[in-house]
Amino acid sequence: MTTETGKMNIDEVMTILGEEVQKLRREETTPQAVQSISNALGKWLSAVKLKLVYAQMIGITPKIDAIDIQPLKVSLSEQATGSD
């Protein structure tokens, strides 16, 4: 499920979260376990967002192994207003 470097991609992490939610519904895990995974995923996504915003500010396409990134085409002013 992980790459040779031991890193996971976003699909794998989302699958784990989904599996844990299913376990919770079957009462095979605790809400705390699901919350821990959810919190970790939220922090991971925040870090990815920070890398994307920084790369956009300096005009590069970042290398983030866990996701496949296409060249950024949104200007900072569009991002601030939320328009496409």
Q: Using H for helix, E for strand and C for coil, what is the string for the chain?
A: CCCCCCCCCHHHHHHHHHHHHHHHHCCCCCHHHHHHHHHHHHHHHHHHHHHHHHHHHHCCCCCCCCCCCCCCCCCHHHHHHCCC
Please say whether the beta carbons of 1 and 7 come within 8 A. no
Domain containing residue 23: 10-81
Predicted TM-score (pTM) above 0.85: no
Is 5 among the domain residues?
no
- Structurally, the chain folds into a number of domains equal to 1
Is 54 among the domain residues?
yes
For the stretch 13-23, pLDDT in tens is: 888 889 999 99
Is 1 among the domain residues?
no
For the stretch 34-66, pLDDT in tens is: 999 899 889 988 988 898 899 999 999 887 776
